Amino acid sequence: MALVGSPNSGKTTLFNALTGLRAKTGNYPGVTVTRYEGIAEVGAGGQVVLEDLPGTYSLVAISPDEQIVASVLDPADEGTATPEGLLVTLDATTMRRSLRLVAQVLRRGLPVCVVLTFTDELTRRQGRVDVAALRRALGVPVVAVVGGRRQQLADLRDLMADPSSWSRPVVPPPAEPEEVGAWIESVLGAAGYSAPQIDERTRRLDAVLLHPVWGTLVFFATMFAFFQIIFAVAAPAQAGIESVFAWLGDQARTRVGIDWLAAFIADGLIGGVGGVVVFLPQIALLFVLISLLEGIGYLARAAFLMDRVMARAGLEGRAFVALLSSFACAIPGIMATRTLPSTRDRIATMLGAPLMTCSARLPVYVLLIGLLVSPDTRVGPFGVQGLVMFALYLVGAISAMLTAWLFSRIGRSTGPALPFYMEMPPYRLPSLRSVALAVWDACRGFLSKVTRIILGTTIVLWLLLNLPAPSDDELRAAGVDPADTTAVATYTIDHSLAADIGHAVEPVFEPLGFDWRINVGVLASLSAREVFVATMGQVAAAQNPDDPADALATMRVQEGPRQGELLFTPPVLAALLVFFLYALQCMSTIAVLRRESGSWRWPVIAFGYLFALAWVMAALTRVVVAAVT
């Protein structure tokens, strides 16, 4: 069976309630852009495979995600299996518009059950509908479901047990637009439908939040407060996690009798992984805030405001929806480009999406901003650390839109503008459960990356940083006391395989002020951006196990024209921040680019142009910051 419905009609919420899964839901189109499958328990102890199709307003496909729905519902399409039954979600508050999709689905001739959603919202806003009369008017089963109420779901599960027994309309709905309009009016009249009144609370808020001036100011103020909160609230939890991992490292050094094994556990595993996990509070808080803004309905307003900006740049609102999805991760943002009808706009938006600041950059930003700006530095009541973070997110968003616009203009041909629908959902308080699940899924994904990608990379890095192991004679010849563990660790790292790799790429990164240690971190971050933090954590833990943070802040350049100077000076830190702002340091994103574009051409272009852009902008930033400091 398949779930069909327009965006924001409660389709994916129903899918989750029936299957027990946690597919992402959202209050704006473009959230569901792929096909999800799950097993739903139905009446008499049976099971059905339930498929959640992308949200669509029409079966006349103009974009790839709409084509998915049209293909699945077309019995003549031999490339896809036709469902044995369809559940069509019908938003009770927008029935006049939503019935057009119902009419198109009914004409496919498949067994259909209409699931009426948001009837509680309809009643609250003084609207009404007779469900039994609607069932007679449509000629198919109609079940009203509010959220995941068990009794209503039980009735629906009983129906799902045997779709072949569902009633069907004697005469299918008409196809001509004028006749469809008359059919809709007759259905609404027969069902005693009374449209809901305008939500007065929503109207008053939207008068401000959708205003081109006041709404934009509120948007930027919201984002500004967003990053102030991330630094202010997460700091105590971060300090607690740091102390836990420091204690674990001390335990490993004192209790493990084999020196090299103790160093591997303390510096490689605990120091490297702990250096990334310490940023979990910021990740959790980021997704708490995003989930709240999304659940309340504010992100749809933000997309509407930015649609005006995108229109001036020659892109449509769907492009901003895809870019908005990239704030958490570029991968869902790239997948959301399936809603774009134009292939050229899809490619252009894909190439811009990696510039949106994703959660993987957050640990890197927090580490570098912490080295660049003291937590006590303030401008009036605002912390400068939060100001810098806000600036990085803002520059990333502007760069993403400019890049998407630039690529969309290359060889662009003129054509008719295609419709873009953006619903403004009523403001609702999100459930605590939905916010908690969103945050848990994000934290679990972050920890999964730590245990899979980052842990594996950390082990490889530890080996590269500690091999070849110098002998005591070699240490004495170099003037190093073999009994001085810190001096031995420093010598070993400076003459390791990692140092050789870092020195090999120095001609590329030397103009940016990076030494071989930073170079190794940049190269390692190709597996995942967070690995840069793990690399610096290993280097710092080896040089000063008791206070790695101080080791990073006091680390000095060991050779070259800057020999003896602090490694992490303000110009170098600023250049690093800008480099990570622009560089495509994520192989998972490249893989998804390959899958969505259908060739390696665009991922190679994306990696190349973003690396060049990152290098140039980082070099310019270093020069400018050096001139003013």
pTM of this prediction? 0.76
Q: Phi and psi at residue 61, in whole multiples of 5°? A: -75, 130
Residue 509 has what pLDDT?
94
When mean pLDDT is compared across 235-244, 607-616, 618-627, the lowest value belongs to 235-244
In this prediction, residue 70 has a pLDDT band, given cuts at 50, 70 and 90, of: confident
Residue 505 has what pLDDT?
93
Q: What are the structure tokens assigned to 483, written together?
A: 């009994």
Which one has a higher pLDDT value, 186 or 292? 186
Residue 31 has what pLDDT?
47
pLDDT tens sequence across 144-194: 998 656 667 888 999 999 999 999 998 999 989 889 999 999 999 999 999
For the beta sheet containing 46-52, the strands, ordered from the edge strand earlier in sequence to the opposite edge, are 36-42, 46-52, 2-4, 86-91, 112-117, 142-144
Residue 418 has what pLDDT?
58
Q: What are the structure tokens assigned to 435, written together?
A: 């916010």
What is the mean pLDDT of the segment spanning 96-116?
A: 94
What is the mean pLDDT of the segment spanning 560-581?
A: 90
DSSP E strand boundaries for 312-407: 378-379, 382-383
pLDDT at 28 over 50: no
pLDDT tens sequence across 400-440: 888 888 887 775 544 555 566 667 777 877 778 778 888 88
Residue 21 has what pLDDT?
78
Q: Which residues contact 151 (CB under 8 A, 6 or more apart)?
A: none
Transcribe 324-348 into DSSP letters.
Answer: HHTTT-HHHHHHGGGG-S-HHHHHH
pLDDT at 479 over 90: no
DSSP E strand boundaries for 216-332: none
Which one has a higher pLDDT value, 323 or 390? 390
Mean pLDDT of the chain: 84
Residue 610 has what pLDDT?
94
Which one has a higher pLDDT value, 51 or 416? 51
What is the mean pLDDT of the segment spanning 599-607?
A: 92
Which one has a higher pLDDT value, 393 or 274? 393
Burial 10-44 (b: 16+ CB within 10 A, else e): bbbbbbbbbbebebbbbbbbbbbbeebebebebee
d(CA 24, CA 314) in angstroms, rounded, equals 29
Residue 29 has what pLDDT?
45
pLDDT at 616 over 80: yes
What is the mean pLDDT of the segment spanning 375-383?
A: 86
8 Å CB contact between 32 and 23: yes
d(CA 428, CA 13) in angstroms, rounded, equals 15
Residue 221 has what pLDDT?
87
State the alpha helices, DSSP H only, in 109-213: 119-124, 131-138, 150-160, 177-190, 200-209
Supply angle C-alpha 143, 149, 150, rounded to 5. Answer: 90
In this prediction, residue 30 has a pLDDT band, given cuts at 50, 70 and 90, of: very low
Percent of the chain past pLDDT 90, that is, above it, reads: 29
